[in-house]
Amino acid sequence: MIHQSNPQPLFDPPIVGRAIVDAFRKLDPRQQARNPVIFVVAVGAMMTSVILIADLLRGITDGLLFNLQITLWLWFTVLFSNFAEAMAEGRGKAQADSLRKTRREMTARLLVGGNGSQKEKRVPAPELRIGDLVVCEAGDQIPGDGEVVEGIASVDESAITGESAPVIRESGGDRSAVTGGTRVLSDRIVIRITAEQGSTFLDRMIALVEGAKRKKTPNEIALTILLSGLTIIFLLAVISLKPFADYAEAESGLTRTAVTIPVLIALLVCLIPTTIGGLLSAIGISGMDRLIQRNVLATSGRAVEAAGDVDVLLLDKTGTITLGNRMATAFHPAAGVDQARLAHAAQLSSLADETPEGRSVVILAKEKYGLRGQELAAPHAHFVPFTAQTRMSGIDFPALNGRPAIAIRKGAADAVRQHVTVLGGRYPNDVDALVNHIAAEGGTPLVVAEDREVLGVIELKDVVKGGMSERFAQLRKMGIRTVMITGDNPLTAAAIAAEAGVDDFMAQATPEDKLRRIRQEQANGHLVAMTGDGTNDAPALAQSDVGVAMNTGTQAAREAGNMIDLDSDPTKLIEIVEIGKQLLMTRGALTTFSIANDVAKYFAIIPALFGGIYAATGTTAGPLSALNIMRLTSPESAILSAIIFNALIIVALIPLALRGIAYRPLGAAAVLRRNLLIYGLGGLVIPFIGIKLIDIVITILGLV
């Protein structure tokens, strides 16, 4: 189960135990090679191990304890890095194990034969193929991903979403998609299988949450290249130190070299960016984990990163900005039209409108005038369903028994105006005034027409969700522009947009308009995010940089998006953007800290290491010892203290890498200043303090 009412503890004992084991498994060179920085550390640890074993075999005891400690702490550095990655993966694996419990072997009731003689046949679920029709009744577990092609039923999806409340799945519309592993609670449905076994939604969920197929994101690849470049530079610098050190020691008359191969390896490990190198993978994995904790599945880490760079949000009005329960509240007849006649026509035109608004019109007419739809639908009537393209619904009565043909339409004001005008009718001014008045008040007007005559206006009301204006203000501080999308007329859209506090809006928007707007924004250099749930949203979801599909939506929408919201909450898009920004901020902050660390360790080690060179006769302190501001005990203690600190700081930063940096809606300049102050300055100061304390401890313990 993905959904967790109580967040998973950061250091859950079973996860920690598994991570410790996995840390050793990751010592496999094939896995280490994926992280160039830590691979260098592993190679260095292997070299010092070989030198240590060779000294033991030759009976050399001078510096044996020192070399042993260096070797152990190098291996600890590698293991701590592996442990950080394994901890991030372990949280996903625990969730995957929970999901696997829902995927057990089951049988399916396969329909075989022609339409006229279909029979049920019990077959194992793994044998189902795309296009197969299966029957599910109350108590049955849905054997695979599919679309409901017949019937309606309540379905328990708690195994997938964690939400205990059942959901309705029905044929036609945008709530036809079902997921394998969920359970039918009532009624009977026929499902067409849309995914092969092994590539179902549940299979993909398991693979995603456990990170089995995780690939590095473009930002990770770029940062890895940068870190590799820095590692090569420091490698060349450390290698060049050996001949210079040997020459200087010879000129100084020193008989014992301080710059041994193990020391150079330790110096290299301390100078290269091991901190961010060891935590980089864990940061990316934990970013996806935080999304999963909020019941959002990202098909790739790239989508999470893109969410952090998004600067334009396209949000539907209904259900996202408003409560979504837009209902018919009043009938406003045109001059000379009886209100009961308007209600009668409005109900007839709404019988084929399966939207919540259409159903509310039918209910309002029934409540106010006792009209029943089933009594009004005359024989031979042709229903015209609502579509996003026409933005109208209606009913056509053919000429019958001397009665002329009648065409009733209900829809957006401009759509009905065009319809009436084409038929040669007149659009009354008083109706136009009603439409403008309702829209200006934040309502939604729907105009009803019978043939060429406009009968009046239906008023729909919706309510802006609480706190939306504050959330949009936060997004504005982050440099994100919000665009509300609605099929309402411009006046209604403007009223809702002003109340909600969005930056821009699209009124009377069709699916083509959405796609066109996304392409326009991208052409201007913006990264765009949007939500959707219907088949008509699929092109826009696929075109957007971050497309969040609702789990309750169609299969086409879920496949087009690069994220799936299991809770089907359109406002989740705002949280997704925040998590994406948190991921980028965490990676940037720890990179800053790591590089600052390296600078501090450089000034801590080098002066202590070469402090005895060119010392005056009878003294042990040379000119470079003046730079030993930390007053470290000896070159050996300086190296050992630095290598210990280098290993322990990775462990200390694991919680920050997993949790992420606390997000605040600040501008880029403010974030940069905060980053440099906390993690830049902190990265410089903390190593000096830490290395000095470790130096004191190991000196007291006599380890050097």
- CB of 187 closer than 8 Å to CB of 138: yes
pLDDT (0 to 100) of residue 79: 95
Chain segment 283-292, per-residue pLDDT in tens: 888 887 788 7
Question: How much is the average pLDDT of 242-258?
Answer: 70
- Please give the DSSP secondary-structure letter assigned to residue 464: B
What one-character-per-residue DSSP string does 364-432 give? HHHHHH---HHHH--TT-EEE---TTT-EEEEEE--BTTBPPEEEEEE-HHHHHHHHHHTT----HHHH
Question: How much is the average pLDDT of 539-545?
Answer: 88
Position 272, amino acid: I
With a cut of 70, say whether residue 159 has pLDDT above it: no
Q: Angle at which helices 572-609 and 301-309 pack, to 10 degrees?
A: 100
Nearest to 361 by CA among 405, 393, 406: 393
Tokens 């193929």 sit on residue: 129
By DSSP bridging, strand 312-316 and strand 167-170 are unpaired
State how far the Cα of 293 lies from the Cα of 288, in Å rounded to an integer.
9
pLDDT (0 to 100) of residue 381: 80
The phi, psi pair for 108, rounded to 5°, reads -120, 150
Give the number of other Cβ atoms within 10 Å of residue 220's Cβ.
18
Give the number of other Cβ atoms within 10 Å of residue 227's Cβ.
23
CA distances from 498 to 321, 434, 465, 493, 673 (A): 12, 21, 13, 9, 33
First vs last Cα of the chain: how many Å apart? 52
Evaluate the CA torsion angle 128, 131, 133, 138 in order and state its sign: positive
pLDDT (0 to 100) of residue 351: 80
Residue 124's SS3 state is: strand
Contacts 24+ apart (CB under 8 A), 366-374: 368/331, 368/343, 369/340, 369/343, 369/344, 371/343, 371/344, 371/347, 373/347, 373/348
Is residue 26 exposed (0-12), middle (13-18) or buried (19+ Cβ within 10 Å)? Answer: buried
Consecutive H or E run containing 122: strand 119-124
- CB of 635 closer than 8 Å to CB of 264: no
Nearest to 359 by CA among 389, 328, 398: 328
With a cut of 60, say whether residue 677 has pLDDT above it: yes
Higher-confidence position of 64 and 174: 64
pLDDT (0 to 100) of residue 2: 42
Q: Quick one: tokens of 636?
A: 């050996």
CA distances from 598 to 44, 92, 603, 612, 687 (A): 18, 32, 9, 23, 9
With a cut of 80, say whether residue 95 has pLDDT above it: no
Position 648, amino acid: L
Position 655, amino acid: P
| Count of all residues that appear for the chain in the document | 704
Q: Angle at which helices 635-659 and 274-293 pack, to 10 degrees?
A: 20
Evaluate the CA torsion angle 636, 642, 646, 649 in order and state its sign: positive
Consecutive H or E run containing 315: strand 312-316
pLDDT (0 to 100) of residue 167: 79
- Please give the DSSP secondary-structure letter assigned to residue 300: -
- CB of 275 closer than 8 Å to CB of 518: no
- Residue partners of 159: CB distance under 8 A and separation at least 6: 1, 99, 102, 181, 182, 183
Task: Grade residue 457 by pLDDT with cuts at 50, 70 and 90.
Answer: very high
- CB of 68 closer than 8 Å to CB of 25: no
Higher-confidence position of 699 and 600: 699
pLDDT (0 to 100) of residue 103: 57
pLDDT (0 to 100) of residue 376: 46
Which residue intervals of 193-300 are DSSP H helices?
201-210, 218-251, 261-271, 274-293
- Please give the DSSP secondary-structure letter assigned to residue 267: H
- Provide, rounded to the nearest whole percent, the portion of the chain with pLDDT above 70: 86
Higher-confidence position of 166 and 494: 494
pLDDT (0 to 100) of residue 511: 81
Could you list the active site residues? 316
- CB of 393 closer than 8 Å to CB of 350: yes
673-675-678 Cα angle (round to 5): 105
State how far the Cα of 305 lies from the Cα of 215, in Å rounded to an integer.
13
pLDDT (0 to 100) of residue 696: 92
What one-character-per-residue DSSP string does 434-457 give? HHHHHHHTT-EEEEEEETTEEEEE
State how far the Cα of 519 lies from the Cα of 535, in Å rounded to an integer.
19
pLDDT (0 to 100) of residue 5: 40
With a cut of 80, say whether residue 169 has pLDDT above it: yes
Question: How much is the average pLDDT of 410-438?
Answer: 90
State how far the Cα of 80 lies from the Cα of 344, in Å rounded to an integer.
73
With a cut of 50, say whether residue 212 has pLDDT above it: no
State how far the Cα of 431 lies from the Cα of 413, in Å rounded to an integer.
9
- Provide, rounded to the nearest whole percent, the portion of the chain with pLDDT above 90: 20
Is residue 701 exposed (0-12), middle (13-18) or buried (19+ Cβ within 10 Å)? Answer: exposed
